[in-house]
């Protein structure tokens, strides 16, 4: 049976090269799916829409916001998208769509348009212009959300089978980006297309895949245990969903980066956060994956280097040397004060009590730390092509990107780095 063509994939591709045609096809899709006549249809171009498309339109005198997430080959995948009701029933704050299609290749959500900013935009403003009072309000909102998440994780944590783990849509963000869909074997997907056989350019160094993937790595003088090739190989093994059931499952959004989070009530001093676009929500989300995307994309992906490579190149420096099989990367990039505060909040209010809960129920795997680190490693490397010149990255942002990715995936030799200190702090006694 022939796999249906993804109309959302075609629209998303057209939006980059032929926006009028994309708008025409999008208008037709909305009309056919929801029996409406969209007017003033506009595509929102923002740096966070790496694998999605969003925008605005009006119909029947009302204003709407639309969004869809599109994965390569999604029309051939099994499993449901967009299960906001799961999160609502569990007590998580989630914006419910007013129109929804979950048809393969035509998955799209439509919301009543809101005036609230996304939390990602609020935090980017604080990266650009620190403001102690605004930062405190934002961090307090994050802390309150983490408390609510932890309460839901406590309530919903349960044993899951390998089959349940494998059926969760969240795997499309990790394992399924590394494999051939037909054989379910690596290397494939984005891993193969982005990196294998490609060249890697950094300030002062250009490497082919063979040398890049097998090089020992040093970052700002600190040596790391693994090569990039070894991290990808180990991630394809350990993040295979058949190996993720050991820590149980929870009800989770799974992809709660802050471009999927509204920031409301800040004008009146009672700021709060709520989710939307639950494309990968589930009832049996492997616990160690539930907060991986949020932890990486809301903290370590900022400021600037992942979503604003040009801005990063203007603000930071980077250099690279390759000698005797060692790739040495140097950069002055660092977290901004608000991102550091969010990391501390995530440690105290979520990861430390969650890991303690798993340990108390004899559900914390011995290799939990490696599993989490590998998931954090795949967050940047498979969300977009990090090679300079391949997409939006330049030599400086690419050097920063792979430096951060290595720190996510591998353990440092000798003294610790920021992530290893974070994991030490949340490890159950």
Of 68, 94, 112, the domain-final residue: 112
Position 102 scores a pLDDT of 79
pLDDT tens figures, 398-412: 999 999 999 999 999
pLDDT bucket at 277, cuts 50 / 70 / 90? confident
Q: How far apart are CA 57 and CA 40, in angstroms?
A: 5
Whole-structure pTM over 0.95, yes or no? no
User: Mapping DSSP to helix (H, G, I), strand (E, B) and coil, where does residue 223 land?
Assistant: strand
Measured on CA atoms in the order 81, 409, 404, 345, is the torsion positive or negative?
positive
Residues 89 and 124 reside in one and the same domain: no
Does residue 134 lie in a domain region?
yes
Does residue 332 lie in a domain region?
yes
End-to-end CA distance of the chain: 54
Of 71, 86, 112, the domain-final residue: 112
Residues 181 and 230 reside in one and the same domain: yes
Residues 96 and 239 reside in one and the same domain: no
Residues 90 and 131 reside in one and the same domain: no
The DSSP output letter for 137 is H
Does residue 2 lie in a domain region?
no
Distant-in-sequence, close-in-space partners of 239: CB < 8 Å, separation ≥ 6: 174, 175, 178, 371, 374, 375, 378
pLDDT bucket at 1, cuts 50 / 70 / 90? very low
pLDDT tens figures, 246-263: 999 999 999 999 999 999
Residues 48 and 173 reside in one and the same domain: no
Q: How far apart are CA 269 and CA 405, in angstroms?
A: 37
Position 266 scores a pLDDT of 62
Residues 85 and 156 reside in one and the same domain: no
Residues 45 and 123 reside in one and the same domain: no
Does residue 169 lie in a domain region?
yes
Residues 63 and 155 reside in one and the same domain: no
CATH number at residue 91: 3.30.200
pLDDT tens figures, 119-130: 999 999 999 999
Of 85, 112, 139, the domain-final residue: 112
pLDDT bucket at 4, cuts 50 / 70 / 90? low
Position 279 scores a pLDDT of 82
Q: What are the start-end ranges of the E strands in 84-210?
A: 99-101, 108-112, 199-202, 205-208
pLDDT bucket at 268, cuts 50 / 70 / 90? low
Residues 57 and 143 reside in one and the same domain: no
Does residue 66 lie in a domain region?
yes
Q: What is the DSSP string of 44-66?
A: E--TT-SSEEEEEEEETTEEEEE
Q: Is the pLDDT of residue 414 over 90?
A: no
Residues 178 and 31 reside in one and the same domain: no
Position 42 scores a pLDDT of 96
Tokens of 402: 């792979």
The DSSP output letter for 96 is P
Q: How far apart are CA 418 and CA 343, in angstroms?
A: 10
Residues 107 and 132 reside in one and the same domain: no
pLDDT bucket at 148, cuts 50 / 70 / 90? very high
Q: How far apart are CA 428 and CA 366, in angstroms?
A: 12
The DSSP output letter for 185 is B
Residues 33 and 85 reside in one and the same domain: yes
Q: Going by DSSP bridges, is the β-strand pair 62-69/99-101 parallel, antiparallel, or unpaired?
A: unpaired
pLDDT bucket at 74, cuts 50 / 70 / 90? low
Measured on CA atoms in the order 411, 415, 420, 424, is the torsion positive or negative?
positive
Residue 372's domain comprises 119-426
Distant-in-sequence, close-in-space partners of 151: CB < 8 Å, separation ≥ 6: 91
Position 216 scores a pLDDT of 98
CA angle 177, 183, 187 (to 5 degrees): 45
Task: Provide the domain count of the chain.
Answer: 2
Tokens of 260: 């999927």
Does residue 1 lie in a domain region?
no
């Amino acid at each position: 049976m022939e796999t249906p063509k993804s109309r959302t994939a075609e629209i998303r591709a057209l939006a980059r090269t032929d926006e009028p045609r994309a708008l025409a096809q999008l208008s037709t899709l909305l009309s056919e799916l929801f029996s409406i006549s969209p007017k003033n249809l506009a595509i929102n171009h923002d740096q966070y829409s790496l694998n999605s498309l969003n925008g605005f339109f009006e119909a029947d005198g009302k204003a709407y916001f639309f969004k869809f997430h599109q994965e390569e080959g999604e029309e051939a995948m099994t499993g449901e998208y967009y299960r906001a009701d799961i999160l609502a029933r569990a007590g998580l704050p989630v914006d419910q769509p007013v129109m929804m299609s979950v048809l393969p290749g035509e998955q799209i959500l439509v919301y009543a348009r809101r005036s609230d900013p996304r939390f990602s935009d609020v935090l980017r403003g604080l990266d650009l212009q620190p403001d102690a009072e605004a930062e405190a309000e934002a961090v307090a909102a994050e802390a309150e959300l983490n408390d609510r998440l932890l309460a839901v994780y406590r309530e919903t944590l349960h044993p899951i089978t390998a089959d349940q783990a494998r059926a969760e849509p969240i795997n499309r963000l990790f394992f399924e980006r590394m494999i051939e869909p037909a054989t379910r074997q690596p290397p494939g997907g984005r891993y193969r297309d982005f990196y294998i056989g490609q060249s890697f350019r950094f300030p002062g160094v250009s490497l082919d895949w063979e040398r890049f993937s097998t090089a020992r790595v040093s970052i700002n003088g600190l040596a790391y245990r693994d090569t990039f090739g070894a991290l990808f190989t180990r991630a394809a093994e350990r993040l295979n969903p058949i190996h993720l059931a050991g820590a149980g499952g929870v009800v989770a959004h799974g992809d709660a980066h802050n471009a999927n989070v509204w920031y409301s009530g800040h004008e009146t001093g009672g700021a709060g956060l709520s989710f939307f676009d639950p494309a990968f929500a589930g009832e049996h989300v492997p616990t160690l994956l539930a907060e991986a995307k949020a932890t990486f994309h809301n903290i370590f992906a900022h400021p600037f280097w992942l979503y604003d490579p040009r801005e990063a190149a203007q603000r930071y420096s980077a250099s690279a040397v390759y000698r005797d099989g060692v790739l040495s990367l140097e950069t002055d990039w660092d977290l901004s004060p608000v991102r550091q505060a969010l990391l501390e909040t995530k440690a105290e209010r979520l990861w430390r009590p969650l890991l303690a809960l798993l340990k108390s129920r004899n559900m914390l795997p011995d290799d939990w730390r490696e599993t989490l680190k590998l998931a954090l490693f795949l967050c940047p490397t498979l969300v977009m092509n990090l090679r300079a010149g391949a997409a939006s990255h330049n030599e400086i942002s690419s050097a920063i990107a792979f430096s951060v990715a290595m720190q996510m995936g591998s353990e440092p030799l000798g003294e610790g780095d920021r992530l290893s200190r974070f994991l030490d702090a949340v490890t159950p006694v």
